[in-house]
A and B are shown apart, each in its own frame.
Chain A
Amino acid sequence: MRLTQLAERVEVNEWVLEEWADQDIPVSTGLVAQGDVVFVPEEMAAANGVKVGGADWVEVTERVLVEGTHRHVLIAEKGVCRFSVAAVDSVGLAVGVIDCDAPVFVVHAEHGAVGLAAGRWVVRRTREQAAEIRRVMD
């Protein structure tokens, strides 16, 4: 998959598109980060305080995972991907779980795209130590 193909569905900055023009989007099989969001394989997430509920799955082909100045948007072929918000996170960073049978992609205007291999992924935000711990949005 090329970023130009996905940019038809999600707006991506021009200079980011140029940088990515000649390459396929790498499909990750392990932990990967996109700006202020990380995609954690289910097993690793489980070892780090996340319980996946396994309920409320919805079929998705396009879904905003995290809002911010720019959105992180999940793009999947029809019929290969489900999403659930049923994740209980001991540190409160999980926003949901992606369950896919084939690679799916997450697109961001500034950060380009990441590919996620078939499997289950916990989507987690990042945090900062401020007066109160707060989640980061870019």
Chain B
Amino acid sequence: MTVKIDTLTDAQKARMASWVQEWIERGLSCEPADRAAVEAGMAECYRFAGLPWHGRVVWVESPLVVALAGPIAGYLLGGDAVDDAVGDAVRGAVRGAVHGAVGDAVGDAWWKYLGGQWWISWQAWTSFFRDVCDLELDSGIWGRDRAYAAAQSAGWWWPHKEFVIVSDRPAEIHRERVGPDGWGSHRLHREDGPAVLFRDGWAVWAWHGLMVPRWVVESPTLELIAAEENAEIRRAGIESFSWDRWLKEAQLSPVAVCDDPGNAPHRLELFDVPVGLYPTAVRLLVMTNGSVERDGTRRRYAETVPAEIGDPLTAAAWRVGLSREDYAAIQRRT
């Protein structure tokens, strides 16, 4: 019999944070999948769904192959949508595979898949009640949950009546932290290569959370930036190229220059940005880092400020939300 849980005990609450962390790590795992365990989970899912287990699991190295090969195989093999399921997920995905196979485009087939470890939040949530709270449910439910969790311990997968096609985990995931723990704490970002790399070489490039073409990260040029029609990607291209380098190559002179208070003997410089280059009207404030780099130099860097700001000290003050007069009294900037 199911016993309802109304509140969590202090011990259960205390366990929550570490539980979340453990499951996030599973969700981001880049280890090769335990294929036998995943396949056993899939077989169980089929059994719970009342579907005959075909035993044909095709492992591929990236979701691109799943997206391309899945619908083609589904079309060639044919077969009806399989009825009844462990849950909507399995049933929907199986149906989706069939619908996708007869769909007009490969892209259309994508809408019903199972997310593997990318959908880990469900398993984290249910297992917390199962393993930490010892929630008792009607017989068989936890068995199904375990089977589903095992099947979801790799990448995206596509259950079909005749086969399963599943992508292994990626080899690398690179992120940056943008907030405290919790929703939105990280986003994909890497400045010298793909943010997500799969073992067959297929990859995704991301700039501060924005999916971008490879050139943005690995080989930005002024020509590519200028030719890019999407303003957000152009912005990412400029940032990747670096404003500092752009300023040098474009050989611009500053609109205004002043001493950098708190960081003598360095100076603050303000530059114009050509209209249309950047999605917003901005000027560039160029500063020199207050602390040294590994090689003993001080990094020069540029940040964007509103275009209506006319002098560098006001721009530096705007960065931290202070008046020009108050900012001028800064004691140190490291």
Q: Mark B257-273, 1 if CB is under 8 A from A, else 0.
A: 00000100000000000
Q: Which of B15-23, B126-134, B244-252, B323-331 contacts A (4 or more CB under 8 A)?
A: B323-331
Report the separation of the CA atoms of residues A34 and B212 in the bound assembly, to the nearest whole angstrom. Answer: 31
B241: min CB distance to chain A, Å: 15
Q: Cβ of B331 and Cβ of A29 under 8 Å apart?
A: yes
A106: min CB distance to chain B, Å: 10
Q: Is A137 an interface position by the 8 A CB rule?
A: yes
Q: Cβ of B290 and Cβ of A13 under 8 Å apart?
A: no
Report the separation of the CA atoms of residues A28 and B334 in the bound assembly, to the nearest whole angstrom. Answer: 12
Q: Is A69 an interface position by the 8 A CB rule?
A: yes
Q: Cβ of A48 and Cβ of B178 under 8 Å apart?
A: no
Q: How many A-B residue pairs have CB under 8 A?
A: 108
B136: min CB distance to chain A, Å: 38
**What residues on B are CB-neighbors of A137 within 8 Å?**
176-178
Q: Mark B286-329, 1 if CB is under 8 A from A, else 0.
A: 00001111101000000111110000000000111111001101
**What residues on A are CB-neighbors of B329 within 8 Å?**
30-31
Q: Cβ of B176 and Cβ of A31 under 8 Å apart?
A: no
**What residues on A are CB-neighbors of B305 within 8 Å?**
128-129
**What residues on A are CB-neighbors of B334 within 8 Å?**
33-35, 108, 111-114
Max count, chain B CB within 10 A of own CB: residue among A26, A48, A113: A48
Report the separation of the CA atoms of residues A128 and B305 in the bound assembly, to the nearest whole angstrom. Answer: 6
Q: Cβ of B331 and Cβ of A136 under 8 Å apart?
A: no
Contact among B176, B292, B293, B321 for A91, CB-based, below 8 A = B321
Known: A32-B333, A33-B330, A47-B326. A67 touches B321 (CB 8 A): no
Q: Cβ of A67 and Cβ of B331 under 8 Å apart?
A: no
Q: Is A51 an interface position by the 8 A CB rule?
A: no
Q: Which residue of B lies closest to A68 (CB)?
A: B177
Report the separation of the CA atoms of residues A129 and B314 in the bound assembly, to the nearest whole angstrom. Answer: 14
A50: min CB distance to chain B, Å: 8
Q: Is B140 an interface position by the 8 A CB rule?
A: no
Q: Is B180 an interface position by the 8 A CB rule?
A: yes
Q: Is A80 an interface position by the 8 A CB rule?
A: no
Q: Which residue of B lies closest to A109 (CB)?
A: B291
Q: Is A120 an interface position by the 8 A CB rule?
A: no
Q: Cβ of A49 and Cβ of B321 under 8 Å apart?
A: yes
Q: Is A126 an interface position by the 8 A CB rule?
A: yes
Report the separation of the CA atoms of residues A34 and B177 in the bound assembly, to the nearest whole angstrom. Answer: 18
Q: Cβ of B331 and Cβ of A31 under 8 Å apart?
A: yes
Q: Cβ of A32 and Cβ of B320 under 8 Å apart?
A: no
B101: min CB distance to chain A, Å: 40
Report the separation of the CA atoms of residues A126 and B180 in the bound assembly, to the nearest whole angstrom. Answer: 17
Q: Cβ of A129 and Cβ of B280 under 8 Å apart?
A: yes
Q: Which residue of B lies closest to A89 (CB)?
A: B321
Q: Is B38 an interface position by the 8 A CB rule?
A: no
Q: Cβ of B321 and Cβ of A129 under 8 Å apart?
A: no
Q: Please report which residues of chain A, range 65-104, place their CB below 8 angstroms from some CB of chain B when the two chains form the complex.
A: 67-69, 89-91, 93
Q: Cβ of A128 and Cβ of B332 under 8 Å apart?
A: no
Contact among B176, B292, B294, B303 for A128, CB-based, below 8 A = B303
**What residues on A are CB-neighbors of B294 within 8 Å?**
13, 15
Report the separation of the CA atoms of residues A48 and B329 in the bound assembly, to the nearest whole angstrom. Answer: 14
Q: Cβ of A48 and Cβ of B322 under 8 Å apart?
A: yes
Report the separation of the CA atoms of residues A31 and B333 in the bound assembly, to the nearest whole angstrom. Answer: 9
Q: Cβ of A32 and Cβ of B321 under 8 Å apart?
A: no
B228: min CB distance to chain A, Å: 14
**What residues on B are CB-neighbors of A30 within 8 Å?**
329-331
Q: Please report which residues of chain A, range 110-138, place their CB below 8 angstroms from some CB of chain B when the two chains form the complex.
A: 110-114, 124, 126-131, 136-137
Report the separation of the CA atoms of residues A49 and B326 in the bound assembly, to the nearest whole angstrom. Answer: 13
A90: min CB distance to chain B, Å: 8
Known: A19-B292, A137-B176. A124 touches B320 (CB 8 A): yes
Q: Is A40 an interface position by the 8 A CB rule?
A: yes
A48: min CB distance to chain B, Å: 5
What are some 7 contacts across the A-B interface (CB < 8 A)? A15-B294, A16-B291, A33-B320, A35-B291, A111-B291, A131-B279, A137-B176
6 closest A-B pairs by CB: A91-B321, A33-B333, A111-B334, A38-B320, A31-B330, A126-B319
